[in-house]
Amino acid sequence: MSAPSAGGASRDGYGSALLRLASDPRVVVLEADLGKSTKSCLFREANPERTVSLGIAEQNMILVAAGMASSGKIPFASTFAIFTERGFEQVRNGVARPGLVVHLCGSHGGIHTGTDGSSAQSIEDLALYRTIPGMTVIHPCDDLSSEELTIQLLDHDKPSYTRTARNKTPRMYDEESCKKLKIGKGSKLREGSDVAIIACGVMVSEAIRAAEELSKDGIGATVVDMHTIKPLDTELIDELVRECKGIVTAEDHSVIGGLGSAVSEHVSYTGGVPIRMVGVTDRFGESGEPGELMDLMGITYRDILDSCNSLLS
């Protein structure tokens, strides 16, 4: 894997994907007043006749999308991650329970959102959507992987929730390598036999940085971009259990119910190795710059590094 390069925010990849998907007449886009922030505005500007802007009415947006899905359309609906939670009951009963294929995107997820503060920092969204039967849950790490995974949703036969981030992160992929990504299959970015770091979203670049630091001490770390939290790539996790001495998970999300929980649940059934979870503990966020907040919440590469060393000791 080549060194990370400067990139864009994963929300930018979502907007680019919608433009590419516009060639399919079944694709429709729904907004709840935040198209500029989620980047669905790009589709709206080019295809206003296939865009429905519902204002600040997230529950209504979900049910309008459900109606469109039942009529043969492929709806992509987006708002802030925290505001998708307003429509949770509609996602459960109006979309997933009847088996309709609606693709929901929550932008500005996690502590990385920064100065908007705790009321806007969704640290529980991945956990919520994991609980809904049949729901696919995706959290890409950069703009290119976000674009590729969103494109793949065109042929996905289940409802989905994708979390994107507001701020730019280093690119983990280039135009070619991102084409190898598949929904439901984790992506190995680096290989080592001592410890496995499984990360998602903005924490993937932090995981790579931690692995580089570990290598200076002769410790080999595998780094996995587990962009799909559900369905989880359990085959890859089983492989890591066989090959490594332990697993550290890393996410900009609560340690309750997210990626770390998903990995731990699987390993608890199959047995194997010790696990450490790097994530937001049982608390709300605060207002501040992303770097400050990540330090405060204990979700930087240094915290991954400490967890790996603790596990190996």
Beta bridge partners of 251: none
Ranges of CATH 3.40.50.970 domains, the chain: 10-163
Cα separation of 216 and 129, whole Å?
39
Distance of CA 154 to the CA centre of its chain: 18
pLDDT score, position 309: 96
CA distances (Å), origin 258, targets 124, 131, 168:
8, 10, 22
Give backbone dihedrals phi and psi of 168, rounded to 5 degrees, phi first.
-70, 145
3-state helix, strand, coil in the chain (%, to 5): 45, 20, 35
- What the block records as the tokens of 262 is 């998903």
> 137 near 126, Cβ under 8 Å?
yes
Q: Write out pLDDT tens, residues 121-180.
A: 999 999 999 999 999 999 999 999 999 999 999 999 999 999 999 999 999 999 999 999
pTM comes to 0.95
Neighbours of 10 (CB within 10 A): 33
Residue 89 DSSP class: H
Res. 270 pLDDT band, cuts 50 70 90: confident
- What the block records as the tokens of 205 is 């670049």
CATH T-level fold of 183-312: Rossmann fold (3.40.50)
Class of CATH domain 10-163:
alpha beta
- What the block records as the tokens of 86 is 């307003």
Residue 299 has pLDDT above 80, yes or no: yes
Res. 8 pLDDT band, cuts 50 70 90: confident
Per-residue pLDDT, averaged over 194-215, amounts to 98
- What the block records as the tokens of 17 is 């994907």
Is residue 242 exposed (0-12), middle (13-18) or buried (19+ Cβ within 10 Å)?
exposed
Of 7-11, 47-51, 66-70, 257-261, minimum mean pLDDT range: 7-11
Residue 313 DSSP class: -
Q: What is the mean pLDDT of the chain?
A: 95
Ranges of CATH 3.40.50.920 domains, the chain: 183-312
Which residues are known catalytic residues?
58
Tokens 């690119």 belong to which residue? Answer: 171
CA nearest to 198, candidates 226, 156, 164, 163: 226
Cα atoms in the Cβ-side hemisphere of radius 13 Å centred on 300: 11
Beta bridge partners of 171: 5
- Percent of the chain surpassing pLDDT 90: 94
CA nearest to 209, candidates 1, 34, 3: 3
